[in-house]
Structure 1
Amino acid sequence: MIPRHIGAAFAALALAMLPATVHAKNEAESKGHSASADYEANSASRSFTGTFGGRRVRYSATVEEQVLKDDKGTPKAAIVTTAYVAEPRDTNRPVTFLFNGGPGSASLWLQMGAFGPMRVAIPSDARDDGSPPYPILDNPDSLLDVTDLVFIDPVGTGFSHAIGDTDPKDYWGVTKDAKSVAQVIRKWLSENGRWNSPKYLGGESYGTTRSAAVVKELEGSYNDVALNGVILISTVLDFGAGAETEGNELGYITTLPSMAVTALYHGKAQGSSPAAFAQEAREFALGPYAAFLLKGQMASQAERDAIRPQLARFTGLSERFLELADMRVSSARFYKELLRDRGLTVGRLDGRYTGRDYDNAGEGPDNDPSFYGIDAGYTAAANSYLRDTVGYDTERNYVTIGGVSDWDWRLAGGRDFNAYLTVAPYLGRAMRENSGLRLFVAQGWYDFATPFFAAEYALTRTGIPQDRVQFEYYDSGHMMYVRNEDRRKLSEDVRAFIRGR
C-alpha cells in the first residue's frame, strides 16, 4: 500500500500447541516508554503441525523483536519478525523474507491472508467482511512445504517501534527503511545459521518498492547477501508511470487497461475475457490513445472524434463525460462515474467491490469499499493469532496501517522525490550482476492502486533481463488472495517459482 498523493494506494496483509516461552517486558516499556541501554527484547515461540501443499510439516512459530543498535551498541529500534521454520531445522531449505507496504502497513495481509500457516476467512466474492468473530483457519496454501517464512514489520508497523529517545523518522524513508530491513535480514541469517540457504524476498504494494530498495542494500556492495528470487505482488516501482498529476499523460495510459477490465466485470463493456480485453486495451493505450495524449492541444478535432468512441468502449463511460474530461479520466472519477447510474462506486484496491456513498452527486467516492470491506477481519485475526495462539505478550497496540508519517522519498544519493522516482533500475542492476536472480510478478486485473500495465511498463525498461521475469495475473484486485481461487493459484505459482531455482 502506498500514499494517495503519489498515485498508488494503501494498500496493501494451528494445531497442537506447546507451552509458550515469553521473555518478560522491561518495566519501562510497560509504562509506554522503552528504556535504551538495558533494553530486553520481547519474544514468544510455540510449535505446531499443519498440512501445506499436501505435505505434513511440523514447524515453530516465533514472534520476536530484532533489536537494531548503533555503532556504540546502543539499542535504537525493535523490529518484530514472525518466523515460521520447519522442524527439524534444515539449512538447505529456502527461507523467504516477506513484508507488506504502505509505507506504514504491517505484514498481516500476506501473513494472515496468503502465505502464513493460518489465515482469516473473509468473503471471497467481494463482499464486506462484516462483524466478528472471524474464522481463523488452517491455511493449506501456506508455502511452508517449500520454504521457511519470515514476516517483517518495519518500525511504526505491527508491534515494531523505536527505542528510548530514538526518533522513529530515522527509519521512515525509501532508503532508511530499506537499510533497517536489510539489517534485520542479515541479523536473522546470522542468528539462525542460514547464510548459505537459498533466499527469497517478497513484498506487496509499497512492499515491492521496498523489495527493490532492500535488494540494493543486500546486493549492492561487496558484503553481499545474494538472492535467488524476488516476489513482487501488486507492483509499484516507477512512481512517474502512475502519478495522476497535471501535465503527466503517462498515468492515463497505464491505468486505462485496469478501467477496461473493471468495466467488463460490471457489464459496462463487452469482451470475451479479462485477459483478451486487457490486451485490446493495452494496444489501444500504447497506440492511438498515447499518440493522441502526447499531441496535447495540437490534436485535431478529427482525432478527438476518432478517439472518443474507442475510449468510451474501453472505459464504459459516456462520450459526453469523456469529452468534458478532455479524454483524461482520473481513477477517482472513474470509481464514482462507472456505476453512478446504479448509485454505486467501485473499489480502488479491487474494482470488483462496490460501495454506496452518502449521495450520488459527488466528484469522487466517500471511501474505498475494497479496503473497508476487509480491514476489520485482518486486524482481529492478527491480534488474536499473535497474542493468544503464539503467546506474544505486549501492551503495545498492533498498528495495522498508518503508523508512519513524513516519509522521505529521496533515493540514495539525495535525489528529491520531485525528480523522476523509480526503483526498477535497482532490480535491473542486481539481475545483471547475479545471473541466478529471478523475478516473479503477481498482478490482479482489478487493481487501481498498482495497475498491472504500470508494472509491465516499469519492468520492461532497458537493463532488466526479460528472460528472468515471470508475470502471473489474477481475477481479483490488489490483494488477490482474498479470493479463494486466486489464493490457491498464487500459492501454486509462487511454490513453482521457488522450486524452479
Structure 2
Amino acid sequence: MKSFKHLSLMVLFVGVFSSSTLLADNERKLSVDDKNTTKHSTKIKGERIKYTATTGTQPVWDEEGTPTASLFYTYYQRTDVDDKATRPLLISFNGGPGSASVWMHIAYTGPKVINVDNEGYPLQPYGVKTNPYSILDVADIVFVNPVNTGYSRALAKKDGSMPSKAELKTMFFGVNADIKYLADWVSTFVTRNERWRSPKYLIGESYGTTRVAGLTKELQSRQWMYINGTILVSPTDIGIKREGPVKAANRLPYFAATAWYHNALTTELQQKPLAELLAQVEQFTLREYLPALAQGGFIAPEHKQRIAEQVAKYAGLSVETVVNSNLDISNNYFWKDLLRNRKQTVGRLDSRYLGIDKKVVGARPDYNAELSSWLHSFTPAINHYLREELGYKTDLRYNMFGNVHPWDRSGNNTGENLRLAMAENPYLNVMVQSGYFDGATNYFDAKYTMWQLDPSGQMKDRLSFKGYESGHMMYLRHEDLRQSNQDIRDFIIKSTPAKEQAAKY
C-alpha cells in the first residue's frame, strides 16, 4: 500500500495492540495514514460506469496535532467525469452506535451488494454481486467507519499507554464527541480529495441519523462546510422526544403493517393495499388512539373498550391483550404474541423475518431473527470483498459491531441543530427513508420526527418522506433496493442547485 506518511502507532484492539500488517513479532498494528486504489467498471441502469475504489486510513488529530485515532474508509470515485466542482459527494455513516459502515456499503448505495435472494435472505456462496441501482452514476461515495468499527481504532497516547474508558468516552464515545471529531475528519477528507467545491450530501442509517443530523450543523458552524442534503434512513428520534402516549400510539401503524404482512388481520383489512390500510390506521392513531391514551386511567370504560377493539383489529391481537395492556402494547410483547398461535416470533428490525423460541409462552422473543440472518451474509461478504476484490490487506478483525460503550447520550440537540442548519442554509434539503416493517425505528415515529423538526412549517417543502414494504434495511428487498436508490438519485438531482440558483430566501 502507498502511504502518505510512514507512520504506525499502537492501537487498542480486544486487549492487544493491533496493526494493518502482520510483522515478524506477530503484533497487529494499524497503518495510521495510508491508502490503496483499484480500478473498476460496472453497469448502472444500463450505463457503463468506470470508477476507482480507494480503501485506506486517515487520522483523527487532537488540538496539538497528535494522531488520536485512525478511521478506515472506502471511497468510490467515478473516473469518466472531468469536473469535480459539479460532481456530488455522498458521505455515508451507519449507526449503532458501534456499527461499521458495512450495511449501506455492500447492500445499498455502493457498486456491489451482498448475495441475497429477492427478499433479502442469505444465499451461499457468500459474497457480493453487481449493484445495478447504485447511485455512483450521479455521485461519488465515501463510507466512513467511526472509532472501533470496521478497521478504525483509537491510538496510543504519547507515553505509549492506551486511553482509559473515560478518556475514550470524552474523545469519541458520545453524541457530541462523535459529531465533533467526525466533522474534523470529514473536513480533512474533503480537503485531501479536493472536494470543497462539490455539492455535498450526508446519509446516515439508524443511530447514523443522529450522527448526520448533528454533523450537518457542526460542519456548517465549525468547518464552514455547507451541505446540500441530509438523508435519514430508518431514523432515531434525533433528540426530538417521543414519550408517554405519543410513544405508545406511534407503534400502531407499524403493528398494522406487520400483521398485514403475516396475514393476521381480518379479511376486510387484509384485502386492502398496504398504503391504503396504513393511511386509515394513521388517521385513527392521531384522531382517536392518541387522545384515548392521553386520558390514562380516567378514560371511560366503554370508550376504553371501543378503542381496544379497534386497536386489536388493526394490530392482529386479541381485545383482551389490548385491554390488559391498558391500551399500550410493548414492542417486545407484540413480536412474541402476534404469531404465538403459529409458534413463531417476528423480527425486531424487520418483522418479515420469523423466529422459533424455546417456549411459546413468554413476553419477548429469545433472539432477533433478522439480525441472525443478516450477520450470516454480511460478515463473510465484507471480509472477502475488502481483501480480495479491493486489495486491502490487514490482520485486524473487521468489527461489525465495536465496543463503544458506555456511550454518552446527554446533550442530544441534533434535531434542533438540523432545523437551525436548514434555516441558515436555503440549499439544504432533508429526506427520510423508512421501512414499514421496521420495529426498532418505526416509520410512523420517523414521520412524527419529520413533522416536529420544523414546527413553523416554513421549510416543509424541503422535507420529504419515502416509505418501503420492508424493514430497517429496506434495501435488502430487491424491489426496494431499486426504488430507494432511485429516491436518493432523484433527491440529489433535485437538491443540486442550478448554475444561477443563489442560496437565498
**Which deviations, in whole Å up to 9, do the C-alpha atoms of 1:180-224 show, x marking residues without a partner?**
211111001110111010000001111111111111211134x42
Instruction: Give the AA of the match of 1:203.
Output: G
2:414 corresponds to which residue? Answer: 423
**Which deviations, in whole Å up to 9, do the C-alpha atoms of 1:62-91 show, x marking residues without a partner?**
111110111222110101111001115531
2:475 corresponds to which residue? Answer: 481
Q: Which runs of 4+ in 1 moved over 3 A?
A: 20-31, 238-243
| 1:448 equivalent among 425, 439, 445 | 439
Tell me the CA shift for residue 382 of structure 1: 0.9
Aligned-partner Cα distance in 1 for 2:31–2:168: 17
User: Matched residues, percent identical?
Assistant: 35
1:175 corresponds to which residue? Answer: 176
**Which deviations, in whole Å up to 9, do the C-alpha atoms of 1:33-55 show, x marking residues without a partner?**
579xx974232221111112332
Does the C-alpha gap of structure 1 residues 240 and 218 become closer, same or farther in structure 2, counting only changes over 3 Å? closer
Aligned-partner Cα distance in 2 for 1:283–1:365: 30
| 2:424 equivalent among 433, 436, 440 | 433
Tell me the CA shift for residue 25 of structure 1: 7.7
Instruction: Give the AA of the match of 2:403.
Output: G
**Which deviations, in whole Å up to 9, do the C-alpha atoms of 1:373-417 show, x marking residues without a partner?**
111211111111111211112221101024311001122xxxxxx
**Which deviations, in whole Å up to 9, do the C-alpha atoms of 1:91-126 show, x marking residues without a partner?**
120000001110010111001001111111213336
SS at match of 1:220: helix
Contact 1:22–1:393 (CA<8 Å) still a contact in 2? no
1:17 corresponds to which residue? Answer: none
SS at match of 2:106: helix
SS at match of 1:103: coil
1:380 corresponds to which residue? Answer: 380
1:68 corresponds to which residue? Answer: 60
* Alignment of 1:264 onto 2:260: yes
Aligned-partner Cα distance in 2 for 1:402–1:216: 26
Tell me the CA shift for residue 144 of structure 1: 0.8
| 2:128 equivalent among 119, 129, 136 | 136
Does the C-alpha gap of structure 1 residues 422 and 354 become closer, same or farther in structure 2, counting only changes over 3 Å? farther
1:458 corresponds to which residue? Answer: 449
TM-score normalised to the size of structure 2? 0.88
Tell me the CA shift for residue 136 of structure 1: 1.3
Does the C-alpha gap of structure 1 residues 402 and 363 become closer, same or farther in structure 2, counting only changes over 3 Å? farther
**Which deviations, in whole Å up to 9, do the C-alpha atoms of 1:439-475 show, x marking residues without a partner?**
1111111111111111111111214611011111111
Contact 2:209–2:238 (CA<8 Å) still a contact in 1? no
Q: Indicate the larger mover: 459-468 or 188-197.
A: 459-468
1:114 corresponds to which residue? Answer: 108
Q: How many residues align?
A: 464
Contact 2:32–2:58 (CA<8 Å) still a contact in 1? no
Does the C-alpha gap of structure 1 residues 135 and 384 become closer, same or farther in structure 2, counting only changes over 3 Å? closer
| 2:83 equivalent among 78, 85, 90 | 90
TM-score normalised to the size of structure 1? 0.88
Aligned-partner Cα distance in 1 for 2:421–2:98: 26
**Which deviations, in whole Å up to 9, do the C-alpha atoms of 1:466-489 show, x marking residues without a partner?**
101111111101100110000000
Q: Indicate the larger mover: 396-405 or 170-179.
A: 396-405
| 1:500 equivalent among 494, 499, 502 | 494
Tell me the CA shift for residue 21 of structure 1: 4.9
* Alignment of 1:306 onto 2:306: yes
Aligned-partner Cα distance in 1 for 2:232–2:450: 11
| Residues 320-469 of structure 1: pairs in structure 2 closer than 5 A | 320-411=320-411, 423-461=414-452, 462-463=455-456, 465-469=459-463
Aligned-partner Cα distance in 1 for 2:120–2:75: 30
Contact 2:255–2:314 (CA<8 Å) still a contact in 1? yes
Does the C-alpha gap of structure 1 residues 404 and 27 become closer, same or farther in structure 2, counting only changes over 3 Å? closer
Aligned-partner Cα distance in 1 for 2:187–2:398: 25
Contact 1:174–1:408 (CA<8 Å) still a contact in 2? yes
Aligned-partner Cα distance in 2 for 1:158–1:484: 26
Q: Indicate the larger mover: 234-243 or 488-497.
A: 234-243
2:139 corresponds to which residue? Answer: 147
In structure 2, list runs of 5 or more residues that go unmatched.
Answer: 20-26, 157-161, 496-505
SS at match of 1:460: helix
Aligned-partner Cα distance in 2 for 1:85–1:240: 35
Instruction: Give the AA of the match of 1:32.
Output: F
2:196 corresponds to which residue? Answer: 195
Aligned-partner Cα distance in 2 for 1:63–1:183: 19
Aligned-partner Cα distance in 2 for 1:472–1:485: 14
SS at match of 1:96: strand
